[in-house]
């Protein structure tokens, strides 16, 4: 079968849940036995979201191959269990960089470089997922094709049955125009092998007691103005839409009635694929493409998970100690905790505790009622002392504590200060003059001057110490692989001293000997990881460390 392409765009407003719909389509097609990948195209100029403040963009999700990406990739992975790569997250910045590098390289000699066709061709090439082997390689690979100005790039057919492409932003944004033009060209070129799904909003006006379809009509008109006729409309709504309303939308927007589906508010995002399947979204896509629909897959394990979720009503309270008071900033950690809760038959109630507000006077009050605490990742000075105070409290009161990346570093610093007695112990990130740099800049980072994409990123191996709590949590595996995103690391000079006083280094990178995991075996559950286990939790496979943490908190 030729690779089929599904484009997902959004209109009216942002935050409609395009990522969830894309992930759901991926899930449903995967359940039918197809090989699927989902990619996100973001119209901003940054090369990647790695340098963005979480307040701007929420969490930065890291792929196994070390790309810093949009948090929607986290949804894709959690829904489908498929690893994404650097090819699954593209920005305007990356597109332009490739084209500009190629121009400097001399590949277009004599030609004027323009948005159409050069930028749009590069977008199309990425949408079609033509061989991409690392940014520099890309430039060379494309030198031949670069001169051709072709609009007929051949799809790369072997790897996937379906490539789902979500375009960030909202229809009508100036910066998304080249992406829309690329979709228009590809649709024309690919014919029935391409399908456009457009997500819009149907607001309910309380005063009029009416659901309004006009914004959807306008949004579709805007899309049509760019030469794109959507095949399928997903209407985001807070109220159920009846058939008459769907019929109205269908007729005004030139879309079949069976291709107008609704995305109502759900108690959980994981109900969305099932709701989409019930309404025949995957079947509609297949009919549009012209492949036989066949039987509806049962998705038994997914339904088993949802049943478990519905039954998990007993609550457990977990404190999330961090500095970004924004839901999306710790998206994967939140989802990992929720999932681990469900598999432990409890509903995790997360309480965000702003580390900037924590003092030794109020820490008891702040952590009151928490069955466990997660000390969150982060960068920079702000909120650091509050995190250390929180760790001191949970360590001395034996409250299960999970430190992730910066959180692990704070566990180490707290231990150095209050157990080893080095009152000035710190990380070189916060204090370059400390005599006790228990967290130090990694050797390989010392020559780094550029900020973007230069951290220790992606999956690295880690050897576990047998007999440790962590090793037990990982089902007694001796070698694991987890994803990283950091510049600083445990200072190995202190390892022996820490071990002697009760904090053990139980996960070590076999190549670099960097300490990746610390734990205090004497306590109920006190584990810090330099890596980010949260990126690896999926709906059907909750992460073993989160599972074990919740178990201990219970």
Q: Give me the least distance between CB of 281 and ligand GLN, in Å please.
A: 36
Find the length of the chain.
Answer: 554
**Closer of 24 and 89 to ligand GLN (Cβ):** 89
d(CA 357, CA 364): 12
Give me the phi and psi of 506, to 5 degrees please: -110, 5
Q: Give me the least distance between CB of 456 and ligand GLN, in Å please.
A: 8
Task: Tell me the three state secondary structure of residue 91.
Answer: strand
Q: Is 405 among the residues known to form the active site?
A: yes
Which of 259, 405, 462, 505 is an active site residue? Answer: 405
Q: Give me the least distance between CB of 395 and ligand GLN, in Å please.
A: 19
Q: Is 482 among the residues known to form the active site?
A: no
**Closer of 217 and 354 to ligand GLN (Cβ):** 354
Q: Give me the least distance between CB of 354 and ligand GLN, in Å please.
A: 17
**Closer of 288 and 323 to ligand GLN (Cβ):** 323
d(CA 457, CA 187): 36
Residues that bind ligand GLN (CB under 6 A): 377-379, 405-406, 429, 485-488
Q: Is 138 among the residues known to form the active site?
A: no
Joined tokens for residue 371: 């069955």
Give me the phi and psi of 401, to 5 degrees please: -135, 135
Q: Give me the least distance between CB of 426 and ligand GLN, in Å please.
A: 12
**Closer of 164 and 438 to ligand GLN (Cβ):** 438
d(CA 41, CA 162): 16
Comparing C-alpha atoms, which of 176, 87, 170, 173 is closest to residue 135?
A: 87
Which of 57, 426, 532, 543 is an active site residue? Answer: 532
**Closer of 47 and 384 to ligand GLN (Cβ):** 384
Which of 486, 504, 534, 543 is an active site residue? Answer: 534
d(CA 305, CA 332): 18
Q: DSSP for 306-355?
A: HHHHHH--SEEEEEEEES--SGGGGHHHHHHHHHHHHHTT-EEEEEEEEG
Q: Give me the least distance between CB of 428 and ligand GLN, in Å please.
A: 9
Give me the phi and psi of 38, to 5 degrees please: -125, 130
Task: Please report, for residues 64, 316, 468, 540, the alpha-carbon distance to residue 307 in angstroms, rounded to integers and kept in the order given.
Answer: 30, 19, 33, 13
Residue 233 CA, chain-centre distance (Å), reads 25
**Closer of 474 and 488 to ligand GLN (Cβ):** 488
* Whether 90 contacts 49, CB under 8 Å: no
* Residues carrying an active site annotation: 405, 532, 534
């Amino acid at each position: 079968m030729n690779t089929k392409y599904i484009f997902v765009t959004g209109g009216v407003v942002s935050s409609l849940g395009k990522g969830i719909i894309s992930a759901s389509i991926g899930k449903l097609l995967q359940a039918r036995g197809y090989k699927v990948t989902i990619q996100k195209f973001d119209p901003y100029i940054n090369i990647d979201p790695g340098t963005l403040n979480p307040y701007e963009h929420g969490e930065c999700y890291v792929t196994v191959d070390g790309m810093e990406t949009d948090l929607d990739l986290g949804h894709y992975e959690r829904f489908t269990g498929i690893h994404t790569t650097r090819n699954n997250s593209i920005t305007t910045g990356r597109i332009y960089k490739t084209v500009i590098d190629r121009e400097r390289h001399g590949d277009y000699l004599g030609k004027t470089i323009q948005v159409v066709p050069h930028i749009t061709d590069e977008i199309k090439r990425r949408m079609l997922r033509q061989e991409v082997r690392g940014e520099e390689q890309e430039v060379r690979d494309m030198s031949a094709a670069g001169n051709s100005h072709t609009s007929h790039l051949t799809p790369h057919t072997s790897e996937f049955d379906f490539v789902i492409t979500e375009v960030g932003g909202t229809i009508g944004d100036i910066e998304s125009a080249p992406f829309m033009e690329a979709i228009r060209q590809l649709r024309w070129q690919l014919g029935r092998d391409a399908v456009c799904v457009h997500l819009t909003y149907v607001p309910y006006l309380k005063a009029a007691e009416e659901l309004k379809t006009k914004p959807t009509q306008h949004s579709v008109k805007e899309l049509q103005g760019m030469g794109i006729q959507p095949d399928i409309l997903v209407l985001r709504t807070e109220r159920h839409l009846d058939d008459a309303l769907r019929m109205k939308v269908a007729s005004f927007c030139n879309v079949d009635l069976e291709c107008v589906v609704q995305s109502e508010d759900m108690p959980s995002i994981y109900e969305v694929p099932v709701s989409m399947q019930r309404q025949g979204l995957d079947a509609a896509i297949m009919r549009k493409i012209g492949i036989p629909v066949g039987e509806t897959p049962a998705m038994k394990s997914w339904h088993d998970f949802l049943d478990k979720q519905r039954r998990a009503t007993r609550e457990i309270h977990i404190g999330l100690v961090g500095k970004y008071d924004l839901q999306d900033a710790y998206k994967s950690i939140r989802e990992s905790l929720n999932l681990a809760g469900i598999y432990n038959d409890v509903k995790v109630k997360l309480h965000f505790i702003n580390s900037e507000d924590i003092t030794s006077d109020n820490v008891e009050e702040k952590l009151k009622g928490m069955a466990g605490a997660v000390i969150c990742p982060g960068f920079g000075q702000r909120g650091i002392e509050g995190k250390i105070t929180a760790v001191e409290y949970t360590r001395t009161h034996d409250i299960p504590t999970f430190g992730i990346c910066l959180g692990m570093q704070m566990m180490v610093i707290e231990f150095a200060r209050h157990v080893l007695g080095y009152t000035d112990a710190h990380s070189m990130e916060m204090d370059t003059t400390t005599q006790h740099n228990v967290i130090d800049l990694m050797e390989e980072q010392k020559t780094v001057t550029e900020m973007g994409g230069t951290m220790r990123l992606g999956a690295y191996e880690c050897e576990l110490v047998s007999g440790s709590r962590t090793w037990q949590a990982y089902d007694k595996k001796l070698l694991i692989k987890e994803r990283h995103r950091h510049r600083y690391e445990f200072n190995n000079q202190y390892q022996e001293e820490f071990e002697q006083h009760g904090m053990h280094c139980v996960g070590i990178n076999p190549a670099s000997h960097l300490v990746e995991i610390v734990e205090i075996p004497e306590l109920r559950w006190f584990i810090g990881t330099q890596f980010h286990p949260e990126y690896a939790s999926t709906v059907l496979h909750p992460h073993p460390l989160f599972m074990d943490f919740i178990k201990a908190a219970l």
